[in-house]
Amino acid sequence: MYCINCGAKLDISEDMCPLCSTRVHHPDVKVEYEKQLYPKGRLPEITHRSKAFNGAVIIMFIIPVVVSFLADFHFDKEVGWFWYVLGALIMGYTAFALPLWFDHPNPVIFTPCVFAEVIGYLLYINCETSGDWFLSFAFPVAGGFGIIATTVVTLLYYLKKGKLYIWGGAFMLTGGFIMLTEFFMSVTFGIDFIGWSVFPLSVLVLLGGLMFYLAINKSAREAMERKLFF
C-alpha cells in the first residue's frame, strides 16, 4: 500500500502517512487490519535468570572437586595437593559463577573480592611450601594489580563519559606496574634486572597514548569507529 500524496510505502495498519500526514483511509470506512506480530508500545517482560542453570554450574564445579579428592586420596593415601585444586576452583567459581546468582551483579564489589581471594590463595601456598616470597612479591604484585583493576572497573561502572581516558590511564598504569613487578622479582628471587618489562611498558604506553588521542580528536575517533564497527 502506498500514500496517494507522496508515494511512500505504508504498512497495512497505517491510518496516516508518517511523511506527509495524509489520511490513507476515509474515517468513515471500516478497514480490517491484520494482527500485528508484536503489539506496539508494549515491551517484553523481563524474566529473572534461571536458577536451574546456576545449579548446573555448581555441579560442573563439584565434579573436579570430587575427582581431585578421590585421585589424591587414592594415589597418596592422604589429602595433600587436593587443597590447591580446591582453592583454585573456589576462586574460579567466585569470579565467573557466583555473579550469575544476582540479577544485577556489581563488578565494583566482585572485582576486589576476587583479588582478595587470589592474595589469600597465594598466602596459603606460601605457608604450605614454607616460602618467603609472599610479603616481598606476591602480596604487592597481586594487591597492586587488584587496585588498578578495581579503580578501572569502578570508574567505568559509575562514569558515563571519558571511557577512553580511563582506558588510556589504565594501560599506562599497568605498563608502569609491570616494570615494578620485575623489580619485585629481582629483589625476592635474586634475579638480575635485565629490563624485559620495558617492552610491555612501551606497548602499553603507546596504547594509552592512542586512547588519549582518540578521546581528544573527535574526527579520528569517529573514523576509527566506522572502520571497526561498521
User: 153, 111 in Cβ contact below 8 A?
Assistant: yes
pTM exceeds 0.85 for this model: no
Pick from 24, 22, 1, 3: nearest CA to 12? 1
Residue type, 157: Y
Residue 42: what pLDDT? 55
pLDDT in tens, 54-95: 888 899 999 999 999 999 999 988 888 999 999 999 999 999
- Grid cell locating 13: 495498519
Residue 51: what pLDDT? 74
Residue type, 7: G
Residue with cell 601456598: 125
Q: Where are the domains of the chain?
A: 1-38, 52-103, 106-209
How does residue 141 score in pLDDT terms, banded at 50, 70 and 90? very high
| % the chain with pLDDT above 90 | 59
For the chain, the residue count is: 230
Half-sphere exposure of 59 (CA within 13 A, CB side): 6
Residue 76: what pLDDT? 84
Q: What is the mean pLDDT of residues 9-32?
A: 69
pLDDT in tens, 158-170: 998 899 999 999 9
At residue 48, the 3 state secondary structure works out as: coil
How does residue 140 score in pLDDT terms, banded at 50, 70 and 90? very high
Q: How many helices (H) and strands (E) does the chain have?
A: 7, 0
pLDDT in tens, 102-128: 888 999 999 999 999 999 999 999 999
